[in-house]
Structure 1
Amino acid sequence: MAHIQFVDELVREYLLYRGFTSTLKSFDNDLKADKDKGFRVDKIIEQILHFINVSDLNGLKEYWSHLDNFVFSKLEIHFQPAIRKMEYSLYKLYLVTAVQGNGGVKNERVTEFLSKMLPELQGQNEWKEWFMLPYIQKPEENLSFSLYFTRSWQDSVLVSLHNLLATVFQCMPQPTLTSYESDAAMVKRLQDELATLRLQSKMQPQAPEKTSPIGHQSRLAQYSERLSGPLPLVDDFCAVPSEHLESGAREAKGLRGLIRQMGGSPVMGRKTSRSQSQN
């Protein structure tokens, strides 16, 4: 979601332009403390790995709880099993990393984890064997745990986490401000296509007019009504031959609808916010 960083810069530029220095300072402070890392997947994984590598269970749980409350909670219910499975895989990676640590601290960290997580995990079948982990001398050689100590499993957890976050961020509802760039690009594309259509109509040989001026004006009137837009927008299509009217109408209607939506959004107006507040 690289466009998030771009929008952040636009907000900073606007605040600076307006002279809202205190607001800009608060905004910069919030960006520095942003737990979502600007929705950059690599930065989020880096933060999670930091908690795992230093055996910071509280930090890991609090960070995942933040993602759960402010990111995952916005998703549809069918995403939840995959999210819970990913959370438990990270807990297992936490234990494996703690066991592989140097010194006698490893058993202390493992015991601390199992003690704190007992109320949450004790009723789940997949965690029953893990409560024996502190008492196994070489868990990497044990049939129940050997898989989790392989590099391939640990890498697969990180790849799955990356794919999950990337998918989640794409499926999340986006604020209007973050979609303005794609909307503007669509408007530009439609304008270019309409300009090309007008140019092609001028280059084509004009067939003798078989209909009366009254009939032609009638078609234009119907065309104008379908567009439901101001006269300048209709006038752009006055030079389009009759065989292009239907396709041009669909393009222009889509363009008009997009412009109306942008005009009622927080980017270019206040119509949306007022209507929502009335509701």
Structure 2
Amino acid sequence: MAHIQFIDELVREYLLFRGFTSTVKAFDNDLKVDKDKGFRVDKIVEQIVHYVNVSDLNGLKEYWSHLDSIVFSKLEIHVQPAVRKIEYSLYKLYLVTAAQSAGGVRNEKVSEFLSKMLPELQGQNEWRDWFMLPYIQKPEENPSFSLYFTRAWQDSVLVSLHNLLATVFQCMPQPTLTSYESDAALVKRLQDEINALRGKTQQSTEKTSPIGHQSRLAQYSERLSGPLPLVDDFCAVPSEQLDSGLREARGLRGLLRQMGGSPVMGRKAARSQSQN
């Protein structure tokens, strides 16, 4: 949904054109605090990573709650377990990041997380071992947590989050205004196809139509010494037969010139001499 930014600019331009200056100011203020980041997946993932890196649990939960209310809650029921799995993976990433950071403050963040999330997580088996995390000296070497401290697992969480958001944003219903670009591209493509078909049809018609034959006959008639009678009768004659007929016509005219006239004129002259 990269075109959302362009739509925002169009809306702002229209508001300025209409003179709605107060609305423009409110619109700009809303854009500055836009939690959806213009539906840019990379920016949303970047914001979540920021909350994880600074151990801002409240910010992480509020931001995820926002995404859940406007995006994830509208998904079909069979998709919800995948969404919850990614959410819990982000919480585990939060704990791992806090545990990896040096200093007692970070360890306090681990304890704070487990304390606040206890009502939500205590009944789930996958979280049972995590409540032991503050008391383990080297959790990265513990069989229960070693996987989560690997770079591969941490990257896989972010990649899964990115793919989920990209898929949801691509499939979610959009307002009519945001679909104008795709509609315009579709109309242009259809117009190009129509023009191409018209060009092919016109070329085919010129090859087979009487008008096309007449133009070729006109060219042939210009090369003859005199006008070619009954040109319209050749409209349906193939070009090969037409060339042969024209060669015969030239030969006949040359023979008539040598004989001093046409057979009809010769018979008229002989008749007049006999009468005299």
TM over 0.5, shorter chain: yes
Q: Deviations over 1:23-67 (max 9, x none)?
A: 111111111110000011111111111111111101100000000
Q: Partner letter of residue 13 of structure 2?
A: E
CA RMSD, Structure 1 to Structure 2 (Å): 1.4
Q: Which residue of 2 aligns with 1:122?
A: 122
SS at match of 1:2: coil
Q: Which residue of 1 aligns with 2:145?
A: 145
Q: Which residue of 1 aligns with 2:54?
A: 54
Q: Partner letter of residue 178 of structure 2?
A: T
Offset of 1:107 from its aligned partner? 2.0
Contact 1:99–1:106 (8 Å) recurs in 2: yes
Offset of 1:208 from its aligned partner? 7.1
How far, CA to CA, are the matches of 1:90 and 1:142 in structure 2?
20
Q: Partner letter of residue 87 of structure 2?
A: E
SS at match of 1:174: coil
Q: Which residue of 1 aligns with 2:221?
A: none
SS at match of 1:89: helix
Q: Which residue of 2 aligns with 1:108?
A: 108
TM-score (norm 1): 0.72
Q: Which region of structure 1 is more displaced relative to structure 2, 150-159 or 196-205?
A: 196-205
Q: Partner letter of residue 42 of structure 1?
A: D
Instruction: Give the alignment of 1:105-254 within 5 angstroms.
Output: 105-205=105-205
Q: Partner letter of residue 29 of structure 1?
A: N
Offset of 1:125 from its aligned partner? 0.5
Offset of 1:74 from its aligned partner? 2.0
SS at match of 1:115: helix
SS at match of 1:137: coil
Matched length: 209
The answer on 1:67 being equivalent to 2:92 is no
Q: Partner letter of residue 170 of structure 1?
A: Q
Q: Which residue of 1 aligns with 2:90?
A: 90
SS at match of 1:116: helix
How far, CA to CA, are the matches of 1:64 and 1:201 in structure 2?
58
How far, CA to CA, are the matches of 2:79 and 2:34 in structure 1?
24
The answer on 1:77 being equivalent to 2:77 is yes
How far, CA to CA, are the matches of 1:141 and 1:79 in structure 2?
34
Unmatched 5+ residue regions in structure 2? 211-276
Offset of 1:160 from its aligned partner? 1.0
Q: Deviations over 1:219-257 (max 9, x none)?
A: xxxxxxxxxxxxxxxxxxxxxxxxxxxxxxxxxxxxxxx
Structure 1 runs of 4+ with >2 Å offset: 205-209
Contact 1:75–1:171 (8 Å) recurs in 2: no
Contact 1:3–1:178 (8 Å) recurs in 2: yes
Larger Rg: 2
The answer on 1:18 being equivalent to 2:1 is no
Contact 1:148–1:154 (8 Å) recurs in 2: yes
Offset of 1:205 from its aligned partner? 3.0
How far, CA to CA, are the matches of 1:191 and 1:78 in structure 2?
41
